């Protein structure tokens, strides 16, 4: 079933100061909400970004600038997918500002399987995006 969630704005990536994570801030709304709400999506560097980059995509090489751009593109792709996953899980049904942490630990580790499936299914598309955008 398609979601009626609309993304109005996305800002980031931000480096989380107390964690090994990047984050994106989304402004989202539903037709029945009076005002848009904020959602911060955190992406763990070690457990989500490096897992996708090194284990799934087996990405290596490139200049420092290409590596930085690769990280930006992959973090955004992961954050977008995590937003879809938590929406489908019902966590965005109520009109509340929320923060979605890394899919690890006791709270959200059950959702990592869905993210992992997406990573494996999108492997070819993600590689093509990196090739098109940064040349590697």
Determine if the peptide bond prior to 133 is cis (ω within 30°).
Answer: no
56 within a domain of the structure (yes/no)? yes
19 within a domain of the structure (yes/no)? yes
1 within a domain of the structure (yes/no)? no
CB-based contacts of 101: which residues, under 8 Å, 6+ apart? Answer: 21, 42, 107, 108
Here the tokens at position 107 are 């709270």
pLDDT-based confidence at residue 135 (cuts at 50, 70, 90)? confident
pLDDT digits (tens, 9 = 90+) for 73-111: 999 999 999 999 999 999 998 888 899 999 987 677 789
pLDDT digits (tens, 9 = 90+) for 46-58: 999 999 999 999 8
Here the tokens at position 127 are 């590689």
Q: Which domain holds residue 125?
A: 6-134
pLDDT-based confidence at residue 1 (cuts at 50, 70, 90)? low
Q: How many domains does the chain have?
A: 1
Confidence at residue 126, expressed as pLDDT on a 0 to 100 scale: 95
pLDDT-based confidence at residue 2 (cuts at 50, 70, 90)? low
Cα 69 to chain center, whole Å?
A: 15
Cβ pair 42, 99 in contact under 8 A? yes
Region 62-75: mean pLDDT is: 92
53 within a domain of the structure (yes/no)? yes
88 within a domain of the structure (yes/no)? yes
Region 64-81: mean pLDDT is: 94
10 within a domain of the structure (yes/no)? yes
Confidence at residue 59, expressed as pLDDT on a 0 to 100 scale: 83
Confidence at residue 109, expressed as pLDDT on a 0 to 100 scale: 79
Confidence at residue 86, expressed as pLDDT on a 0 to 100 scale: 94
43 within a domain of the structure (yes/no)? yes
């Amino acid at each position: 079933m398609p979601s009626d969630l609309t993304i109005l704005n996305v800002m980031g990536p931000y480096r989380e100061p107390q964690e090994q994570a990047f984050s994106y801030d989304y402004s989202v709304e539903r037709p029945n909400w009076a005002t848009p709400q904020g959602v911060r999506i955190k992406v763990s560097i070690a457990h989500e970004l490096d897992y996708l980059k090194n284990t799934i995509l087996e990405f290596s090489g490139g200049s420092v600038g290409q590596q930085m751009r690769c990280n930006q593109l992959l973090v955004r792709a992961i954050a977008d997918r995590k937003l879809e996953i938590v929406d489908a899980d019902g966590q965005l049904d109520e009109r509340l500002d929320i923060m979605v942490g890394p899919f690890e630990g006791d709270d959200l580790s059950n959702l990592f399987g869905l993210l992992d499936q997406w990573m494996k299914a999108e492997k070819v598309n993600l590689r093509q995006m990196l090739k098109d955008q940064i040349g590697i």
